[in-house]
Structure 1
Amino acid sequence: MNAASTNDDYDGYERLFADIRRRWSAPRKHPTYAFHFVGNFILFAAVSVWIELGFYLFGNPPIENGLTPLRSAIVAYFPAILGSVCLQLALSDTAHKSIRALCNILPFPFIAVSLVLISSKNISDPVAIFVASVTSILALCCCWIVNADDPALRDDTPSAPEDSSGGVDAVATLSGEDALSDFKY
């Protein structure tokens, strides 16, 4: 048994929520993270949503199906975002097991909402677009949290490189330096 399972003070839920709060707030001070998030997930990944919205607003080409194409684009957007970030988190080596386990069940409510919005003829396009937009915002929040610890997206100043010899003067003479002096090749 590990120490966590025998410790009565251990609260895995507290640690999970603390990790989620930390991941939510940590990237805010990194412009690189913000530019990556906005560029990749809001602009680029949602390009089909923006195209359909443009067609609807500007009517070029003529709108024959009203809001239905926009509805389809938004309903397809949020499961794709959530699925990709959940897979990314599941493959993470640095995330706690509890947050990786959460990503195993998180997609199911999103998939259920998507299936209902796609298949139900009783839900009007405006209502479906509103629900899909709210669900997209939730998926983007998950995306924000998952990518929070990616060092490539941080603007931290790089730390000083460590000596490969464990902190010993890297230019010092190595012991046994003359060990190969008699070596003949």
Structure 2
Amino acid sequence: MTEHVTKQKNGSWAILGRELQKRTFEPFGHFSFVAYFLLAVCAVGGTGIWLEAYSYFLLPPDPTGTPNSLSPLRTAVITFFPALAGSASLQLIWAENNQKSLRAFAVLVIFALTIVAVFIAPSVAVHHKTALWVGGFASIVALWTWWIANAHQKDLLDPVLDPDVTLGKKNPTAELAGDLDGFTT
């Protein structure tokens, strides 16, 4: 019985690992999925970050010569990753009825990234650049969480088209079944 329990424990880790690997790499074969991810999630979803990065790096300092502050960029990053990770994690929790390990993984992600946000939020305790590095890494984890949560989302995946499906047979040059006898307009 001990051997069975040991195999079962190692098995759920292995199953989770395979599922995460599968969900990480399979969507790359679907242009629509990747385009949606880049445009909707990264570009539009990250608008607050892009606007604050633009303000910090490309706008001149104010007329008094005070350099631009990293504080707004920091706030944008700290509000981006918990929201994205939270929604993606809850999607996994609610959608994956049969995969307890994937649901538990989602709980772990939402918990860990919430703790990260709470710890890097106070500007007195954590330097802006440190918060941005940690927030950047957390944002990558949040984006990956969204990716794996939506890896099986049929609306985002390209259909695999078989040209023979529309004909109903394997030989597309063969005569079609049936006739038009008795058909009137």
Matched, 1:56 2:59: no
Q: Distance in 2 between matches of 1:52 and 1:66?
A: 10
What is residue 90 of structure 1 aligned with on the other side? 93
TM-score normalised per structure 2: 0.76
Contact 2:96 2:103 in 1 (8 A): no
Q: 1:95 to 1:137 in 2, by over 3 A?
A: farther
SS where residue 95 of structure 2 aligns? coil
Deviation of the 1:156 alpha carbon: 2.6
Contact 1:71 1:128 in 2 (8 A): yes
For residue 136 of structure 1, the aligned residue among 126, 134, 139 is 139
What is residue 164 of structure 1 aligned with on the other side? none
Query: 2:148 is matched by which residue type in structure 1?
Result: I
What is residue 165 of structure 1 aligned with on the other side? none
Q: Distance in 1 between matches of 2:18 and 2:71?
A: 40
Deviation of the 1:101 alpha carbon: 2.1
Q: 1:153 to 1:95 in 2, by over 3 A?
A: farther
Contact 2:88 2:145 in 1 (8 A): yes
TM-score normalised per structure 1: 0.76
Unaligned runs of 5+ in 2: 167-177, 179-185
What is residue 15 of structure 1 aligned with on the other side? 15
Q: Distance in 2 between matches of 1:66 and 1:151?
A: 42
Residues 55-85 of structure 1: CA deviation (Å, up to 9, x unaligned)? 1122268477610000010011100110000
Residues 18-58 of structure 1: CA deviation (Å, up to 9, x unaligned)? 11111111101100000111112111111111111111122
Matched, 1:148 2:151: yes
For residue 81 of structure 2, the aligned residue among 75, 78, 82 is 78
Query: 2:57 is matched by which residue type in structure 1?
Result: L
Contact 1:74 1:133 in 2 (8 A): yes
Residues 137-172 of structure 1: CA deviation (Å, up to 9, x unaligned)? 1111111111111111111325759xxxxxxxxx9x
Contact 1:78 1:136 in 2 (8 A): yes
What is residue 169 of structure 2 aligned with on the other side? none
For the aligned residue pairs, the C-alpha RMSD in angstroms reads 2.6
Query: 2:150 is matched by which residue type in structure 1?
Result: N
